[in-house]
Amino acid sequence: MTPMRFLTLALLCAPAFAADLTDQYKPIADKIIDAALADNDGYAKLAYLCDRIGARLAGMPSLERAIEWSAATMKADGLSNVRVIPVKVPKWVRGQESVQLIEPYAKPLHMLGLGMSVGTPPGGITGDVVVVEDFDQLEKLGTAGVRGKIVLFNEKWVNYGATGQYRRAGPSRAAKLGAVALLIRSVTPLAMQIPHTGTLDYDEAQPKIPAAALSVEDALMLGRFAANHVPIKVHLEMAAHMDPDADSGDVMAEIPGREHPEEIVVIGGHIDSWDVGRGAQDDGSGIIASLQAVALIKKLGLQPRRTLRVVFWVNEENGGRGGEAYRAWVGDQVKNHVAAIEMDGGAEAPRGFGFGGGMGRGRGAVGDPHSMELVKQIGVLLNRIGAGEVTPGGGGSDIGPLTRDGVPSLGERSIGTHYFDWHHTETDTLDKVDPEDFRKSVAAMAVMSYVLADMPEKLK
């Protein structure tokens, strides 16, 4: 083979834009990864947030303590332009709640009201339960089978998107047929008598009925009763209600860009969490990994070409007002947002990033091919920690308003083995976050965000 023919073949076989970013940033990326893998400070911050501040739903005083602590921590890390953008957040209050089995016998069931649910009238609701496994079965029952009843969706776990529909749309679908309350099997693959909360989406055209999740075990048992034609009656009491909107905010800090401070790579997650558990995986790990990524870049004396901004968005769980408030706050500077990265899938071992591009593309969208190639070149730098996979799709709820307006968006992705075992429950506590996996998550967020903020080209 002549040298010329060899060169031609090599060019044909090599990916387009062969390994440019990979080669260019390898020394810096390795330095960042080494620093992240040796870091204990990030996990200590996460421990403080989870163990000492705890659950932090919109409207809870603990959320405001978390915001104050976050701003102070960002300042202590030497970051610039630490700010809290004011955000009015909905204040949903759970209150006392219970479900009591009445027929075939008396026994308290394991329950958790769904976020944003209305409460029951004082004294509660007692009703016969009809059990269905999906929307089709509900529709088949029709008004005749559902009116005046309490509907239980004993739906099978498939995945969060599909199964979560019963939590989100279930209450209004049942109300439309005359149901007086809704119960669902918790949205999780694991049965450990732990009910899972999460927000519902009322259809404003339908009556608002109270809604709660049962543990998988209890839902399955009621399903067996129904299958055996054993009549089921329950008593539901929920004091859930809305208080007036509360004052809260998005917290942010920066490393200003050395050449183009007006151009921004924004990374982060959401600071709020459900009122049960400690919001360790969802999304304490996301915000603290984002912060620590930026803090380590700062500590290493690195200053990327563009501004690197970390944001802790508020109210992701039951309103999304933090993401919208950030979008409103940046105004037409949205065009200077070079990339947005959200980490909101927990800090189990990171496997890489989803990239969906900008231009209003949703999850699962395929981004611009050249931009995807650049992100993949950065991904290669993370192969040494198993986090180099770059796939289509990506983004996150909080950066949705940016993605909608064309900002190229990425979502950090973990292996997600147990995430939905713990999600929105009492069990989302610090012990679920493995320190080594967390350090790798910090490394992944740091390398991806640094290179995106520093590389000559911009994604599109």
Where on the chain is the footprint of a second copy (CB under 8 A)? 47, 51-52, 54, 104-105, 107, 110, 190-194, 216-217, 220-221, 224-225, 421, 425-427, 429-432
Provide, rounded to whole angstroms, the least separation between the CB of residue 102 and a second copy. 15
**Nearer to a second copy among residue 326 and residue 422 (C-beta):** 422
Question: Treating both helix axes as pointing N-terminal to C-terminal, what angle do 435-454 and 369-380 enclose, rounded to 10 degrees?
Answer: 130
**How many other CB atoms sit within 10 Å of the CB of residue 72?**
12
Q: Is 217 a catalytic residue?
A: no
Provide, rounded to whole angstroms, the least separation between the CB of residue 426 and a second copy. 4
* Paired strand residues for 309: 254, 266
Local structure of residue 423 (DSSP, 8 states): T
CB 355, CB 339: distance < 8 Å? no
Handedness of CA 445, 446, 447, 452 (dihedral sign): positive
**Residues 304, 256: Cα–Cα separation, whole Å:** 8
Q: How many Å from the N-terminal Cα to the C-terminal Cα in the chain?
A: 40
Catalytic residue among 316, 317, 348, 412: 316
**H-helix or E-strand spanning residue 161:** helix 160-168
Token pair belonging to 176:
């439309």
How deeply is 176 buried, as exposed, middle or buried, from its count of CB atoms within 10 A (0-12, 13-18, 19+)?
A: middle
**Nearer to a second copy among residue 110 and residue 384 (C-beta):** 110
**Nearer to a second copy among residue 107 and residue 335 (C-beta):** 107
Provide, rounded to whole angstroms, the least separation between the CB of residue 222 and a second copy. 10
**Nearer to a second copy among residue 224 and residue 370 (C-beta):** 224
Strands 306-313, 241-255: pairing is antiparallel
Provide, rounded to whole angstroms, the least separation between the CB of residue 154 and a second copy. 12
Provide, rounded to whole angstroms, the least separation between the CB of residue 430 and a second copy. 7
**Nearer to a second copy among residue 5 and residue 229 (C-beta):** 229
Radius of gyration of the chain (CA): 24
Positions annotated as catalytic residues are: 316
